[in-house]
């Protein structure tokens, strides 16, 4: 490869991560209260390519007045969902917000990481499920 071609290839490689980081992936977020059996709430937001769920939830909260959430920060385990739309988990009641993911092929899974590390994929549905342990 000639020096100008190498320079062009190097420049392209440098710009590629910026272009990918600017692209947004649509994401569905479903809020479920398994304890009350109430109707699920459906929300749509975006997540940055390879971005974390925490960023998508913040984006959703900023763009939708009907969605609010809070989280706590554990020094060893990172962010943990504390409340959604004013309903908080409670140790005395043994309630918490469970993170579930419905994949593009319909498989339901419980990620082994939380909202601060999970990177949603295209066509996944994020389910925030209020339940008991």
Instruction: Burial-class residue 101 by CB neighbours within 10 Å (0-12, 13-18, 19+).
Output: middle
Q: What is the pLDDT of residues 31-63, one digit of tens each?
A: 999 999 889 999 999 999 999 999 999 999 999
Q: Is the confidence at residue 5, as pLDDT, over 90? A: no
Of the pLDDT bands very low, low, confident and very high (cuts 50, 70, 90), residue 14 is low
Question: Does some domain include residue 9?
Answer: no
Q: DSSP letter for 90, please.
A: B
Question: Does some domain include residue 86?
Answer: yes
Question: Does some domain include residue 123?
Answer: yes
Q: DSSP letter for 105, please.
A: T
Question: Does some domain include residue 40?
Answer: yes
Domain count, the chain: 1
Are 67 and 43 within 8 A, CB to CB? yes
Q: What is the pLDDT of residues 87-101, one digit of tens each?
A: 999 999 999 999 999
Domain that holds residue 105: 24-132
| More confident of the two residues 11 and 92 | 92
Distance (Å, whole) CA 93 – CA 111: 24
User: CATH number of the domain that 120 lies in?
Assistant: 2.170.130.30
Kindly report which listed range (4-13, 22-31, 57-66, 76-85) carries the lowest average pLDDT score: 4-13
How much is the CA Rg of the chain, to the nearest whole Å? 18
Distance (Å, whole) CA 78 – CA 54: 11
Q: How far is CA 71 from the centre of its chain?
A: 13
């Amino acid at each position: 490869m000639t020096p100008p071609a190498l320079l062009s290839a190097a420049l392209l490689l440098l710009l590629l991560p910026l272009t990918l980081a600017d692209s947004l992936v649509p994401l569905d977020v479903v809020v479920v209260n398994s304890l009350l059996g109430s109707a699920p709430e459906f929300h749509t937001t975006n997540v940055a390519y390879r971005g974390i769920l925490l960023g998508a939830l913040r984006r959703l909260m900023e763009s939708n007045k009907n969605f609010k959430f809070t989280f706590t920060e554990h020094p060893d385990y990172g962010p943990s969902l504390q409340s959604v739309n004013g309903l908080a988990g409670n140790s005395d009641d043994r309630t918490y917000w469970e993170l579930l993911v419905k994949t593009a092929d319909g498989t339901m899974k419980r990620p082994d990481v939380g909202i601060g590390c999970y990177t949603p994929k295209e066509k996944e549905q994020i389910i925030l499920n209020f339940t008991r342990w």
